[in-house]
Amino acid sequence: MRDFAALYAALDATNKTSEKVAALVRYFRTAPPADAAWATYFLIGRRPRQAVPVARLRAWAAEAAGIPDWLFEECYATVGDLAETIALLTGQATAEGALTDRPLAVWIEETLLPLRAADPETQKGMVTAAWAALGVRERFVWNKLITGAFRVGVSQKLVARALAEVSGLDEPTIAHRLMGDWQPSAAFFARLIAPADADRAEPGQPYPFFLAYPLEAKLPTDARGRLLDADPAAFAQTLEAALGAVSDWQAEWKWDGIRAQLIRRQGQTFLWSRGEELVTDRFPELAAIGEHLPEGSVLDGEIMPFRDGHPLPFSVLQTRIGRKTLTRKVLSEAPVVLFAYDLLELEGRDVRSQPLRWRRAQLERLVAETNHPALHLSPLVQADSWEALAHCQKASRARHAEGLMLKRLDSAYGVGRVVGDWWKWKVAPYSVDAVLIYAQAGHGRRAGLFTDYTFAVWDGDPAAGGRLVPFAKAYSGLSDAEMRRVDAFIRANTLEKFGPVRAVKPQLVFELGFEGIQRSARHKSGIAVRFPRILRLREDKRIEEADTLDAIRALLPS
């Protein structure tokens, strides 16, 4: 545990990619295989379910520290991180625990995993014994693990890069081996870094997804990071200068669904989401496609709600996500199809290195031969010029699409996000002007600052007695300097306190952006928005100039 906690500290202490990779390489070169397997598991974002309810941990920590609950909550509000608060309160900062050198795998397999099945009293004894046995840094990491909140600033790509350096394999091979449903063990880690000629993929193992860069990373933008695309003719010239001839590219609609891979191997069908969740049982109509696919086929595509020849809003798909039981009613009210984008494996052969134009031709043939009602070929957007394509992109929302995907016709199917071959060209977000009415302190590096905001819009004309109603919450989009300014305003203009939440004098107006909008009976405004974020602070506007619910309802799709 000591070495893993030291690795966490090293990764958390730097923003430099080279230093993060170096720290990972040092750890993996010396860690026992079982520890290295668990470290890999956590570092790429996987984690066991939360072992103990947070409320119990808070109560036990306050008791162990000998302080009342209210004082613990004040400490938590100041520190901003539960794991760190408990680590600091349950032992001396200079203490060295008796079991700090106990291997990470032993901590996980003999203490953390059995916690979930234990009764509360047994849990309490196991958790408090761990706090007493570990030093402060190790306690902090341990608390992150038992709360299910372990995160550190490395991507799966960086972990794969470090493991490639340790093993002598190439990064794509490691990335592929990290995909799918595997359990941490010494045997797994041995297979992970085994020579390439020993590679034996499991039948259901997916490939790493190829991801696109936003077009904003390639083209000029305004001060808010938006593409300068208001004039299609001028923007077309910019596109041609940056990307070359439009004939070199394949354009598709960027659908708003769930990215997935459909796999047919050894008589079995597997459906994996981009989040590496096996969702075969959640979409039985898509699993049924597999029986009609040739053996050794892997398709990349998008799970889309679909009826009567048309895509449906993402909100329809949400009605199926997370349901434990898929009734006939649910399946009929939220029918889905797979829009196939790409072909990754054909007759058991990995074809990702083939150019896109070849893969697309084979995909078209395969979809036609399969002839299944739930399998659709993602349609191409035909345009003979960048200007014509720009006009198509502007019409994306009418098709329930988020914009366009641009893919170079001679591109291979890569691993992760690679600059140059695939670009996502999203339509500008919806935007409204809203008033800040509530604020709450952030967590982690934002601890001590009010950075989580609730915004309101007018229900009725403000000049005729209209009232502000909560509309959306957002916490991203401001610079550090702007956050400090808003924090100072909140502290000076707090009207009431409700636990950690402060009601603020309605004075600041913000422009909010969001990707989707729908009616919602669960929200006071009657409207829910998707991916809300702050676009800018509107110091040029008075609160009376904020948007009204009527104006926002006009944005709802018909």
pLDDT per residue as tens digits for the range 372-400: 999 999 999 999 999 999 999 988 888 88
Burial 183-194 (b: 16+ CB within 10 A, else e): ebbeebbeebbe
- Number of other residues whose CB lies within 10 A of the CB of residue 292: 15
- Number of other residues whose CB lies within 10 A of the CB of residue 338: 28
Position with higher pLDDT, 384 vs 557: 384
Enumerate the β-bridge partners of residue 453: 439, 474
Enumerate the β-bridge partners of residue 423: 213, 406
Task: Report the candidate in 460, 464, 392, 384 with the shortest Cα–Cα distance to residue 425.
Answer: 392
User: What average pLDDT does range 282-304 have in this prediction?
Assistant: 94
Enumerate the β-bridge partners of residue 426: 403
Enumerate the β-bridge partners of residue 269: 264
What's the rounded Cα separation, in Å, for the pair 84 and 444? 9
Q: Which of 1-10, 34-43, 92-101, 319-328 has the lowest mean pLDDT?
A: 92-101
The reported pLDDT for the residue numbered 198 is 56
Whole-model pTM: value is 0.80
- Cβ contacts of residue 494 below 8 Å, gap of 6+? 502, 503, 504, 505
User: What average pLDDT does range 4-28 have in this prediction?
Assistant: 93
- Cβ contacts of residue 485 below 8 Å, gap of 6+? none
What's the rounded Cα separation, in Å, for the pair 314 and 293? 27
The reported pLDDT for the residue numbered 399 is 84
Is residue 365 within a helix (H) or strand (E), and if so which, with residue range?
Answer: helix 356-370
Burial 93-122 (b: 16+ CB within 10 A, else e): eeeebebbebbbbebbeebbeebeeeeeee
pLDDT bracket for residue 286 (50, 70, 90): very high
Q: Is the pLDDT of residue 477 over 80?
A: yes
Q: Which of 295-309, 492-506, 512-526 has the lowest mean pLDDT?
A: 512-526
What pairing do the DSSP bridges indicate for beta strands 375-377 and 336-346? parallel
Virtual CA dihedral for 17, 21, 24, 28, nearest 10 degrees?
Answer: 170
The reported pLDDT for the residue numbered 558 is 64
User: What average pLDDT does range 345-360 have in this prediction?
Assistant: 96
